[in-house]
Amino acid sequence: MSSTQQSDIATGLPLSTLRSNVKSTDTNVHTAAIALGSNLGDRFYNIELALRLLEAPQRCLAAEDIEACGGSHMFCKIVDTSFMYETAPMYFTDQPSFINCACLVESNIPPVIFLRFLKYIESAVGRVPSVTNGPRAVDLDIVLYDEIILDTRPISQRVNLDNLRGELVIPHPRLAEREFVLRPLDDMIPSFIHPIYRKSIRAMLEELPEEDPSMRKVVPFPRYPLLASDDPQSFPVPVGPRTLTYWTYSITTNKRHKSANKGRTQLMATLNATPDSFSDGSTHNTLETALGYARQSVRAGASIIDIGGYSTKPGAAFVSSADEIDRILPIVNAIRNLDSNIGVDPTTDARLRETPISIDTFRSDVARACIQAGANCINDVYAFTGFDAVYPPTEPDALKRAADSLAEMKAVAREFSVPVVLMHSRGDAGQNKEYGMYGDGDEQVIRGVQIELGEKVERIVKGEGGVRRWMVIVDPGIGFSKTLEGNLEVLRGASRVVADVELDASRRNPLRGYPLLIGPSRKSFLGAILSQGEIGRETSPKERVWATAAAVACAVQQGALVVRVHDTKEMVDVLSVAAALWG
């Protein structure tokens, strides 16, 4: 690269120091921020395929480029991802909405070869020549590359931005005007200093003259089981699943969106295929009764069915992986193979067959078997750290079990590209309810959730092999290792769990920006409230429907993306009224 092509490298906070869980002393290792967008075809499939190709440069680049990058030592690893956004088109507006996101990569591929690498990926995914800023199957841009300032055009041709085709300018010359790029970067590297503007990414985002009012975050759900046509042999990597559906939710930041999420709250129906669940054990543990509940839930308006085969109540009996699979898998198979041409209610069966299924499990083999059969989401009450990881996890054996479980669950989530619900818990749900170590104020428990669940989420999302950030939903764990007062604190302040706030002088809330799932349904803390006072009474879980309704209304007011409930028909009514009040 000649001296006329590259200016001096700007000083500032190095991009490499902001990437996550990646430690390297190799001077040939570079960190780049890549922006991705798609608005043609299956947009989520296109972006996931592009990301998979991004980690396979040995299979994509020409032999001379591979040799120039060290031959077999060439690599590109994704080490962080942003949230995902649905955005209105910019510049050329007469085209479909885009899906946009960004990632940080660690690589030893130099910038010009990296550009060729990205162009190969665009072509492989299906991009064809079009008008400038027009529709495309996928678009990948090098936004930042370490802290360098680079322009491959001759100096005489740098007057404007009309001659960029085939050239490379870093930082991306239009970064400062694009919310659909700045916001994903802000998710990952808000404090990075732009080497030209000498401003942080967060400052550049806040200085935009106006925001895109239609911009929303999204959570995509893949379609399973796969069809033979879903994995064409022409690609050098497994292509991943097509898209079943996706949910959208509002952006919340301190400056531009001061209120909580006011989008639609989704309803997750709880189908316990167990004989001993605290609320409905033995109620839906046959195929006939399970299908009946699933049909009833979809007919009422449920967005997703959560199927569990292992009770998490304190003292529940041990269930082997094989038995857990035997309880859940027949239900998943039955739902995905419903014939809408027969039956009493073919319309409901057709809808149920297309409804996302979540698997309530902490085991990777159970999750794998059920996803392959047709499930679309993992709901893990231990946030990937396993059933027998004790609290606090200080013993070497416990730490190893937790690390092994996290690695296995993370690998399954990445392989199948499914959303994951990660819940805050501390082992036995009835134990470990002390949060005094998190201060003397009114939000000890919220702070504990932010720190404890946040640490797990960071390990799951960041670093090589991480789950895509846009695939994570967080659950603060109502009813798990919390006192009555602690549960009420979390419920009434749920939006604070994911707020963009400082935990201390050196760190911000690691859960900031994630969508929330709240699961208060029929739980014992509601029974404790109902038993208080002169008119108090003891209640069984099934008698707590109205109490659940009050908690669900609060969850909507706090901006929950999802509420997990047993009584779907009644709670759909609650969601409708709560949305009218706070939507």
352/463 same-domain check = yes
Contacts of 3 (CB under 8 A, 6+ apart): none
Query: Has residue 378 been placed in a domain?
Result: yes
What is the residue range of 534's domain? 250-582
204/267 same-domain check = no
Contacts of 381 (CB under 8 A, 6+ apart): 312, 360, 362, 423, 425, 475, 477, 480
567: exposed, middle or buried (C-beta count within 10 Å: 0-12, 13-18, 19+)? buried
Please tell me the predicted confidence (pLDDT) of residue 387.
81
Tally of domains within the chain:
2
Mode of pairing for the β-strands spanning 76-81 and 139-145: unpaired
169/60 same-domain check = yes
Mode of pairing for the β-strands spanning 420-423 and 472-475: parallel
**Are 239 and 230 spatial neighbours (Cβ–Cβ below 8 Å)?**
yes
Sheet holding 304-308, edge to edge: 472-475, 420-423, 377-380, 357-360, 304-308, 266-272, 562-565, 517-518
Q: If you count them, how many residues does the chain have?
A: 583
- Give strand pairing partners of 247: 219
**Are 270 and 520 spatial neighbours (Cβ–Cβ below 8 Å)?**
no
84: exposed, middle or buried (C-beta count within 10 Å: 0-12, 13-18, 19+)? buried
216/255 same-domain check = no
The 10 Å Cβ neighbour count of residue 253 is 17
Q: Which residue has the tokens 């010359």?
A: 173
Q: Which residue has the tokens 């769990």?
A: 497
- CATH number, domain at 475? 3.20.20.20
**DSSP characters over 436-486:** GGG-SSTTHHHHHHHHHHHHHHHHHHSSTTPPPGGGEEEE--TTSS--HHH
CA atoms in the 13 A half-sphere facing the CB of 356: 25
Taking phi over 0 as left and psi of -120 to 50 as alpha, with beta for the rest, 81 belongs to beta
Please tell me the predicted confidence (pLDDT) of residue 228.
72
The secondary structure element, H or E, covering residue 100 is strand 98-107
208/271 same-domain check = no
State CA 304 to chain mean position distance.
16
Query: Has residue 237 been placed in a domain?
Result: no
Please tell me the predicted confidence (pLDDT) of residue 16.
64
Query: Has residue 424 been placed in a domain?
Result: yes
350/421 same-domain check = yes
- Give strand pairing partners of 86: 99, 216
Please tell me the predicted confidence (pLDDT) of residue 276.
59
**Are 575 and 565 spatial neighbours (Cβ–Cβ below 8 Å)?**
no
Question: The pTM is what?
Answer: 0.93
437/307 same-domain check = yes
Mode of pairing for the β-strands spanning 85-87 and 98-107: antiparallel
254/214 same-domain check = no
Query: Has residue 91 been placed in a domain?
Result: yes
Please tell me the predicted confidence (pLDDT) of residue 13.
52
Closest among 181, 190, 187, 246 to 461, alpha carbons compared: 187
Query: Has residue 231 been placed in a domain?
Result: no
Domain boundary residue, one of 174, 208, 223: 223
Digit-coded pLDDT (tens) for 92-120: 888 899 999 999 999 999 999 999 999 99
- Give strand pairing partners of 517: 562
Amino acid symbol at 280: D
Where in 362-439 does DSSP place strands (E)?
377-380, 420-423
Instruction: Check whether the bond before 346 is cis (ω within 30° of 0).
Output: no
The secondary structure element, H or E, covering residue 113 is helix 111-125
Please tell me the predicted confidence (pLDDT) of residue 260.
41
Mode of pairing for the β-strands spanning 98-107 and 76-81: antiparallel
- CATH number, domain at 186? 3.30.70.560
Taking phi over 0 as left and psi of -120 to 50 as alpha, with beta for the rest, 358 belongs to beta
254/219 same-domain check = no
272/140 same-domain check = no
Query: Has residue 245 been placed in a domain?
Result: no
560: exposed, middle or buried (C-beta count within 10 Å: 0-12, 13-18, 19+)? buried
Please tell me the predicted confidence (pLDDT) of residue 403.
93
Domain boundary residue, one of 206, 223, 240: 223
401/449 same-domain check = yes
109/207 same-domain check = yes
Please tell me the predicted confidence (pLDDT) of residue 256.
47
Local confidence pLDDT in tens for the 583 residues of the chain: 333 343 333 334 567 655 544 444 456 899 999 999 999 999 999 999 999 999 999 999 999 999 999 888 999 999 999 999 999 988 888 889 999 999 999 999 999 999 999 999 999 998 877 767 778 899 999 999 999 999 999 998 998 888 888 899 999 999 999 999 999 999 999 999 999 999 999 999 999 988 788 899 999 999 999 887 776 666 778 888 999 999 999 997 545 444 344 678 999 999 999 885 555 555 777 899 999 999 999 999 999 999 999 988 777 888 999 999 999 999 999 999 998 677 778 999 999 999 999 999 999 999 999 999 999 999 999 999 998 766 777 788 888 999 999 999 999 999 999 999 999 999 888 899 999 999 887 899 999 999 999 999 999 999 999 999 999 999 999 999 999 999 999 999 999 999 999 998 888 999 999 999 999 999 999 999 999 999 999 999 999 999 999 999 999 999 999 999 999 999 999 999 999 998 7
Query: Has residue 9 been placed in a domain?
Result: no
Please tell me the predicted confidence (pLDDT) of residue 11.
38
Give Cα separations from 42 to 7, 39, 49, 180 (angstroms).
40, 8, 11, 19
CA–CA separation, 255 and 267 (whole Å) = 29
Query: Has residue 230 been placed in a domain?
Result: no
**DSSP characters over 124-135:** HHT----STT--
State CA 372 to chain mean position distance.
20
Angle at 484 between CA 481 and CA 485, to 5 degrees: 105
Closest among 57, 188, 101 to 461, alpha carbons compared: 188
